Amino acid sequence: MTGTPAEGNPVAVVAKAAGAASGVSRAGVIGISVGVLAAGAAAGLAIERLTVGRATRRRARTELDANAPYGSLRGRPKTVAAPDGTELYVELDGTGWSEPDGDGTVAEPLTVVFCHGYCLNQDSWHFQRAALREGMRLVFWDQRSHGRSERSRSYLAGEPAGIDQLGGDLKAVIDAVAPTGPLVLVGHSMGGMTVMALADQHPELFRERVAGVALMGTLAGDWDEVSLGLPKAGAKLFKKVAPGMVKLLGRQVDLVEATRRLGSDVAAVFYRKFSFGGRDVDPGVVRFAEQLLDATPIDVVAEFYPVFGVHEKYEALAALRGLPALVLAGTKDLLTPSTHSEAMAEQLPGAELVLAEGAGHLVMLERAELVDHELARLLRRAARFAGAAKLPATVLDLARERAAEPVVDPA
């Protein structure tokens, strides 16, 4: 291969970008890389798996891709314009849309709006969609620049991305597809931050219409305190280097995307480490998570990464107080550690705090049955709180059943 090392070697490209972004030495960049690789090895992922049996793994992935049903559920598509004109892709799912709206004498049904996380799309709610769609009104949407939604017009025009902007997007979706009736808002990771941003901007909506909130694998602030499972010194250096490095990589889209394809085995190791807490996850689910993450272009990764460091919405939690609330996290979540969920629950008297023992960041995939049960229980509480139309029997049955998972559940 011809060209300079930085042109022909993916590792050199990353090292060059990191060095340019932070001014750290070449040895420092290599140290970061070695530290992250060591963390993966410490998680029990043998390095030789990256180089041995590659053809076998590719065949296995092909078989999983051909047979897995994950992400195949679809609803009625709609396009909603965000405040800056960005077209947001929305799907209305569930059979409850055929039920008549209330007329003042008849209670209206709940509408449940799902907000996905960073580098994911609405299909990340596959299991919850399957479990709750009978008789319910469900709204799924792709956040701007993610999934089938349009790339953020304001970002392309030179404005930085922000969580507050996502809160405005959520308000636009609600106004367009669920302008009346009680709401339950469900957010995972960045989606939970989106819900908090909406609460900050429109507390009156939470007083008047929101009947329940679920915050999963998310945080209200203090992102800079998250260690990502690295030693303290390594985490500090990574947080210093990462913003500039991601920004520079976002400017090398074609090169980085080609590198991602060539390094799919390496990417799979990191996806698994930061997505799941256990080693017994269904291979089809693991592969599904890889596909969701791989589908997010590097420039979108770069677009949103800086927003987490400035996300501070503890005060916005005041709008949620008194509402039925579920705060749920995996105890092995490296991206939004469960201690942050505990801190949020302390701000929400009466909220149910559920900690999924041994689960990682993508808890709705890794502990789908637990999440389904807890959401159904939240919906039951929300329906009672709002005086909403009776929930379908399938959801009530799901709420009555207890998931066979170790949890912390004060209720």
**Mean pLDDT lowest for which of 74-83, 135-144, 266-275?**
266-275
* Per-residue pLDDT, 408: 43
Instruction: Reply yes or no on whether the pLDDT at 246 is more than 90.
Output: no
For residues 322-338, average pLDDT = 97
Does residue 243 or residue 293 have the better pLDDT? 293
* Per-residue pLDDT, 224: 84
Q: Is the dihedral of CA 69, 73, 77, 83 positive or negative?
A: negative
3-state secondary structure of 246: helix
Q: How many CB atoms lie within 10 A of CB 224?
A: 11
Cα–Cα separations (whole angstroms), residue 98 to 66, 92, 109: 34, 11, 11
Q: How confident is the model at residue 50 (pLDDT cuts 50, 70, 90)?
A: very low
- Backbone dihedral angles phi then psi of residue 353, each to the nearest 5 degrees: -100, 120
Instruction: Reply yes or no on whether the pLDDT at 61 is more than 90.
Output: no
- Residues paired with residue 327 on neighbouring β-strands, in sequence order: 215, 353
Q: How far is CA 108 from the centre of its chain?
A: 29
Q: Class assignment of domain 76-221+311-400?
A: alpha beta
Domain boundaries, the chain: 5-68+224-307, 76-221+311-400
Q: How many CB atoms lie within 10 A of CB 41?
A: 12
pLDDT for 267-308, tens place per residue? 778 788 999 999 899 999 999 999 999 899 888 988 998 899
* Per-residue pLDDT, 101: 72
pLDDT for 367-392, tens place per residue? 999 999 999 999 999 999 999 999 99
- Residues paired with residue 195 on neighbouring β-strands, in sequence order: none
Instruction: List b or e across 332-369, with b for residues whose CB sees 16 or more CB atoms inside 10 angstroms.
Output: bbbbbbbebbebbbebbeebbbbbbbbbbbbbbbbbbe
Instruction: Reply yes or no on whether the pLDDT at 19 is more than 70.
Output: no
The residue assigned the tokens 């998931």 is 403
- Backbone dihedral angles phi then psi of residue 254, each to the nearest 5 degrees: -60, -45
Angle between helices 190-201 and 163-177 (to 10 degrees): 80
**Mean pLDDT lowest for which of 40-44, 92-96, 280-284, 401-405?**
40-44
* Per-residue pLDDT, 410: 34
Residue 35 identity (one-letter amino acid): G
What is the 3 state secondary structure string of 8-76?
Answer: HCHHHHHHHHHHHHHCCCHHHHHHHHHHHHHHHHHCCCCHHHHCCCHHHHHHHHHHHHHHCCCCCCCCE
* Per-residue pLDDT, 62: 63
Quote the tokens at residue 92.
Answer: 């209305």
Instruction: Reply yes or no on whether the pLDDT at 128 is more than 50.
Output: yes
Instruction: Reply yes or no on whether the pLDDT at 15 is more than 70.
Output: no
pLDDT mean across residues, the chain: 82
* Per-residue pLDDT, 241: 67
pLDDT for 205-242, tens place per residue? 999 999 999 999 999 999 888 887 877 777 677 666 66
- Percent of the chain, pLDDT > 90? 61
* Per-residue pLDDT, 140: 98
Alpha-helical regions (H) of 250-403: 253-262, 264-275, 283-294, 298-304, 338-346, 363-366, 368-386, 393-400
* Per-residue pLDDT, 4: 39
* Per-residue pLDDT, 47: 38
* Per-residue pLDDT, 223: 85
- CA-CA distance, 362 to 305, in Å (whole number)? 18
* Per-residue pLDDT, 162: 95
